[in-house]
Amino acid sequence: METNELKNIWIEIDDILTPKTKNELKEILLSKTKRILSKFRWFLMTSILLCIGVITFLIIASLEIKNDILYLLNNAVLAIIIITLLLYYIKSYKKLHFNVRENYNVYVSLNNKVQFLSKELKNKLEITFIPFLGILLILSINVFYTSKSFIGTFQDEENLWGLIFGFLIGMLIAFYFAGKISKYQKKELRILQNYLNELESI
């Protein structure tokens, strides 16, 4: 961790209550550690809600345009991927959630959660899925709102160029925010790991 980050952490702690006993310092560090973990849970909850929103749209759209086999196939593939991601996010959220039993061995519990986050932030699988998901989603939305058939979407040149332009803009925005979020989460993880190291040394 950078020196400035370390200084900021201890300045912030020292400003709250000085001097401190070991138990008081432990409680402060535990509180701050749990607060950072809650930020990761917030990101996961946002992802869960987005997945539910997309699945809801796919169900409504598929019921509305139930005679277009290719459109239904597009939506089915997209739904399978989104449901897989939804289950993954729910599982991850549960892993970062504290229960009463974990309070008996808080350090071990926190360490397991930090190790889990470290592993997950190195996983780029979600980012590699972005272009594929983007294509399927933009096709689903386009067919639903233009009332064209799935094949008709590709036969209309003006509409096709609009899709390509929209896809490129969407990907730029998606990768920009994915990069920002990843950078922020890695920074929070470094702080989290430092808190954990301090807890171990007390």
- Alpha carbon 159 to its chain centroid, in Å, reads 32
Interatomic CA distance for residues 6 and 19, integer angstroms: 19
Token pair belonging to 23: 């138990």
- 153 in Cβ contact with 163 (< 8 Å): yes
- 59 in Cβ contact with 124 (< 8 Å): no
| Mean pLDDT over each residue of the chain, to the nearest integer | 81
Token pair belonging to 152: 């008709």
pTM above 0.85, yes or no: no
Break the chain into its structural domains and give their ranges: 3-201
**DSSP string for 97-127:** ---GGGGGGHHHHHHHHHHHHHHHHH--HHH
Residue 13 pLDDT > 60:
no
Q: How confident is the model at residue 53 (pLDDT cuts 50, 70, 90)?
A: very high
Residue 162 pLDDT > 90:
no
- Tell me if residue 200 falls in helix, strand or coil: helix
Interatomic CA distance for residues 137 and 166, integer angstroms: 11
Residue 17 pLDDT > 50:
no
- Between 88 and 8, the more confident residue is 88
Q: How confident is the model at residue 100 (pLDDT cuts 50, 70, 90)?
A: very low
Residue 36 pLDDT > 80:
yes
Torsion of CA 113, 101, 38, 185, to 10 degrees: 0
The predicted model gives 170-195 an average pLDDT of 87
The predicted model gives 52-78 an average pLDDT of 94
Phi-psi label, residue 147: left if phi above 0, alpha if psi -120 to 50, beta otherwise: left
Residue 61 pLDDT > 90:
yes
Instruction: Give percent above pLDDT 70 in the chain.
Output: 82
Q: Which of 167, 143, 152 is nearest to 61 (CA)?
A: 143
Cβ neighbors of 71 (< 8 A, separation 6 or more) are: 62, 65, 140, 143, 149, 150
Interatomic CA distance for residues 90 and 92, integer angstroms: 5
Q: How confident is the model at residue 30 (pLDDT cuts 50, 70, 90)?
A: confident
- Per-residue pLDDT at 194: 83
Token pair belonging to 90: 């729910």
Instruction: Give percent above pLDDT 90 in the chain.
Output: 28
The predicted model gives 173-186 an average pLDDT of 88
Q: How confident is the model at residue 52 (pLDDT cuts 50, 70, 90)?
A: very high
